[in-house]
Amino acid sequence: MSASLADIQADAPSHHLPAVMTGRDAWFLDTEQALEEEMDHFCGPPQPGDRAPWQARADQARLAALCLSGGGIRSATFCLGALQALASRRMLGEFHYLSTVSGGGFAGGWLQTFIRQCGSIAEAERQLGGSGNEIFAKLRRYTNYLTPEVGILSSDTWAGIVLYIRNTILNWLIIFPLLLFVPLALLAYRTALEAARGSTLWLPLVLGSAALFVATFSACILLPSHRPRTGGVTAYASPARVAACIVAPTCVWALALPFTLRALFEQPLPVSGLSLCRLGLAYFAVQVTAYLSGLIWQTAKGHPGLWLYERNVGPWLASSLVSAALISLCTGAFIDWLVGGAASFDAERAEVSQTLTYAAPPALIVIHLLQSVIFIGFRKSAECADLDREWVARVDGQLLLAAMGWTGLCLCCLVLSADALGRHDAQIPALFSALAALATGPAAAFLGKQVFVRAQSLAAKGRMDDLVMMGLSAMAAVFGISLFALMGWWLGRLLGSAYDWWGDCLLPGWALGGAEVGSGCGINPYGMIVILDVAVAAVLAGAVWLFGRVNVNRFSMHGVYRNRLTRGFLGSARARRDADPFTDFDEEDSPRIAELGTEKRLLPVVNMTLNLTDLLHTEWAERKAASFTATPFACGSAVLDRADRARDLPATGGPRGAYIRTSQYAGMETRGDRVSAGRGPLLGGLLTISGAAVSPNWGYHSSRPIAFLMTLFNVRLGAWLPNPAVARRDDLKLAKPRNSVLALLSELGGRSTDVRQAIYLSDGGHFDNLGVYEMLRRRCARIVVIDAGQDEHCTFFDLGSVIRKAEVDGLAKVQMGEMRILARSTIEREGKRAGALGYARGTIAYPGARDAASLIYIKPSFLDDIPAEVRAYGATSPAFPHESTADQWFSESQFESYRALGFHQVSKMFGSKLTTLSDWSVYLDSEIGRRPPDC
């Protein structure tokens, strides 16, 4: 018997609200409300006064779910055969949910469109349960759904090539100007150093000292042991405040001081000791002043830690004095090394600014970090000394990372571009080598998907996979270095030409007197600064113009993939199409998913992956993703929370979830698209996202070096959509992010999160490739899983993954019985003695439920009694029925073999008198219990 209403009601969250809402909140639902609405759909609205939670209603309804797994067209065709077998037994109407992922969504979308065409599930079962030849006739035209007309000279092939090239170029028009800003900023910094004069000696010193004062003062008052406590809660500083008040000002100081260093080179030799000590004295004075200011601040505020200030004056003075002395000594050593005994700096003037640019800022940060090292070593401890040390270490780590990044970019954009590509005697071979290195980019981008899937799979991981991953990362690194070096070289030549044309004309009169100050090649740095200012302004103006005008989804490969998937699997289910005779596309092929919630059975649940590669959720560091679903009623995720945007989860134990009414979500291409307003997203678009296997951000497979290359070369099938937990109401209607430029840069850096206005969605298989996770959330009592994922060795990686995630997340505990599913090699070797059945049974225990639920797991198997035509095809393909998912171009025999295998395998699982799912489960238990012969 199911759990009593009282038992579950006692465990129900206190924030339980009615599912029907009015006013502003009519758009927004939490997880409880979204699932209650589904219960209302199946069971009718609750009676007045009935406040039973949805969990009790779900247990009483004994919900059933049919799950179709990912696996591209291989999964789609096998699932079509399975659906045909279920229809022949009139079993499709037994399922409340149809949960699909990736390739399973192709078949599920076809079925939903076919039911809509027939008018009812019963009529669809009647037609589908027959031979199916006429029904599948149109679908067979699109076994090569990406390019139906195959061949190197076909129009479909060349249309695909042109679309890829066009979209990639359009993406580059956005990406490369933004990437050019990096070498442009470095060149501007170096040129500004070159233009430094003795008159600017004090200004950068004052500005840098002010920034260092802010950083040091903030560090003193934000240290955990110095923070105030209210009601037993410490007011710790947020990561954003630490970055803004400590890390950023320190970097400003490190960038400002080299201007004072550069001005020293305008003084006559030898440089006086006072001039050398000036920077060190300024550093010491700022550190002491900031420390005393922190003491005064803490005294005025009455904050804790005053005694720590008093006891640590000595260590602070000593550590600051050591760093100040190092700054002065390093300044003198640098001058001595660069001059090498010369009487003046003129001979070495060309090297001064270059060396200061890439060496001075990181050197200053390292010396500053040494001050914190010495201070922490001699500091008098507090009660939270460990917390203080960890806090300081994290701040220092961020500063060190910034220093390393600056050095790396300078070496690529300035040093390598000048030394390897800028010399006239080595220009041609160097350029040839650079272009050869660039060839690693496309290779790593396109190989990344296939190789990383295998390498990240725990079932297949080995030493060779680790080496392949390292090789791909190395290829990405070589490409990145070569790219920035080439951009720096090309930008330097372009700016030099611009200076030759317009430099003197743009110079103000007062700057002409500095014509002798240059890089040794007659270039006036003031003129170059004007040119650089114009270039920086042009790049910034372009970025501002692109803001909000570019749809990052439009010119990825998402739209190309969507159009062909929709035509092949949704259009082929329609009796009549009004297709363009030239392209064979029809805009009416895809229904809106909000229009499909009319039947009380087979409610579609399209499973997608919400990528979380920014690792704000450290407990999900491996999965890097969460589930995101779309139904005719709501779209969203249970890990989101509209009420909490700062990631401080409520005391109830986690986020409440954030969903948006499907009719109001991501349905409009532009704000002026009134035709699509209030209709919600297209089913074809959602199925495309659910099948977006090749994406820069893709759950637990994600790798930032590979993400950079895949984005740059437009290997992108996922989509950016508004975040139901953050986006404004007007933005939620759009099928794009509000700021496409920021979204594209995030994709380029492999960064996606759930706290910004836009979220990145990709293949549902990047989180759960079976579609089972969300059915366990809905407490389904009977789940049938058709897993056609590639698994030739029968390691059941996808099944194990979803079982583990469901148990970790507290949804359910699944225990599988005997797995009578064997690899083809085992079946062919042992024959009937292997006892292979191609399916297995499991039990599900839900929290608070008294009755166990059941799970039927079906996997394509090369059984000994498969039809002759299927065996004949298998003889030509040793990998059958687990051929590579990368093969999305099926032949006629390939398509029919998988469909026939699905029909045969599922049909064989039925007894002679089965009429319900419950009877089917009992029958399968008896079949599994029968032992194979001769064993």
Give the pLDDT band of residue 528 (cuts 50, 70, 90). Answer: low
Give the pLDDT band of residue 224 (cuts 50, 70, 90). Answer: confident
Number of residues that make up the chain: 935
> Tell me, what's the pLDDT at 466?
61
Of 564, 615, 606, which is closest to residue 589 (Cα–Cα)? 564
Distance (Å) of CA 607 to CA 98, 590, 600, 761:
10, 18, 20, 10
Highest mean predicted confidence (pLDDT) among 25-34, 225-234, 567-576? 567-576
- pLDDT tens track for 536-579: 777 777 777 766 677 889 889 999 999 999 999 999 999 899 99
Mean of the pLDDT values across residues 637-661?
A: 70
Q: Please report how many Cα atoms fall inside a 13 Å half-sphere around the Cα of residue 899, on the Cβ side.
A: 20
Cβ(607)–Cβ(100) under 8 Å?
A: yes
Q: Please report how many Cα atoms fall inside a 13 Å half-sphere around the Cα of residue 538, on the Cβ side.
A: 9
Give the pLDDT band of residue 435 (cuts 50, 70, 90). Answer: low
What percent of the chain has pLDDT above 90?
46
> Tell me, what's the pLDDT at 454?
46
> Tell me, what's the pLDDT at 24?
39
Cβ(724)–Cβ(637) under 8 Å?
A: yes
- pLDDT tens track for 662-699: 999 999 888 777 777 778 999 999 999 999 988 888 77
- pLDDT tens track for 594-610: 999 888 999 999 999 99
> Tell me, what's the pLDDT at 253?
95
Q: For residue 50, is it left (φ>0), alpha (ψ between -120 and 50) or beta?
A: beta
> Tell me, what's the pLDDT at 510?
38
- pLDDT tens track for 736-755: 998 888 899 899 988 899 99
> Tell me, what's the pLDDT at 516?
37
Highest mean predicted confidence (pLDDT) among 64-78, 228-242, 905-919? 64-78
Higher-pLDDT residue of 69, 295: 69
Which of the 8 DSSP states describes residue 853? E
Tokens of 893: 């025999």
> Tell me, what's the pLDDT at 271?
57
Mean of the pLDDT values across residues 415-430?
A: 58
- Mean pLDDT across the chain: 82
- pLDDT tens track for 903-918: 999 999 987 667 678 7
Cβ(301)–Cβ(228) under 8 Å?
A: yes
> Tell me, what's the pLDDT at 526?
60
What are the backbone angles phi and psi of residue 606, rounded to the nearest 5°?
-90, 120
> Tell me, what's the pLDDT at 96?
96
> Tell me, what's the pLDDT at 5?
38
Mean of the pLDDT values across residues 80-86?
A: 95
- pLDDT tens track for 537-547: 777 777 777 66
pTM for the whole structure: 0.86
Higher-pLDDT residue of 931, 783: 783
Checking if the pLDDT of 648 tops 50, the result is no
- pLDDT tens track for 10-24: 344 333 333 334 333
- pLDDT tens track for 449-499: 555 444 444 444 555 556 666 777 777 777 888 888 888 888 877 777 776
Mean of the pLDDT values across residues 147-155?
A: 89
CA separation for the pair 756, 754 (Å, rounded): 6
